[in-house]
Amino acid sequence: MGEMYAAVCPCGYQSHSLLEGSGMMRQGFGIYQCQRCHALLNSRDTTQQERCSSCASRKLTPIESEEGAALICPHCKENQLQLYECGLWD
């Protein structure tokens, strides 16, 4: 079972649901942030290098899904983006 997260910033930005962990089909997902445009995205846990869906950069950093950890917001570029667990997925 995996967790679902949402990222929320005081500027009003809110991400779509971000998946982390493995479901029943044993597909593992991780949360990544682009170093170039700061977009948040999901990627399957594979050895294949993914690209950012917003800017096509390959500079993706895995995100530790600690609630309350501040990230850079892709909208306002401030270090105020927070991850919150919002559910579970299978």
pLDDT of residue 56: 94
Domain ranges of the chain: 2-89
Using CA atoms, how far apart are residues 29 and 31, in angstroms rounded to an integer? 7
pLDDT per residue rounded down to tens, the chain (90 residues): 788 999 999 999 999 889 888 766 666 888 999 999 999 998 876 556 688 989 999 999 888 776 667 899 999 999 999 999 988 887
In sequence order, what DSSP letters do the residues of 25-78 get, joined into one string?
T--EEEEEEETTT--EEEEES-SSPP--TTT----EEEPP--TT-EE--TTT--
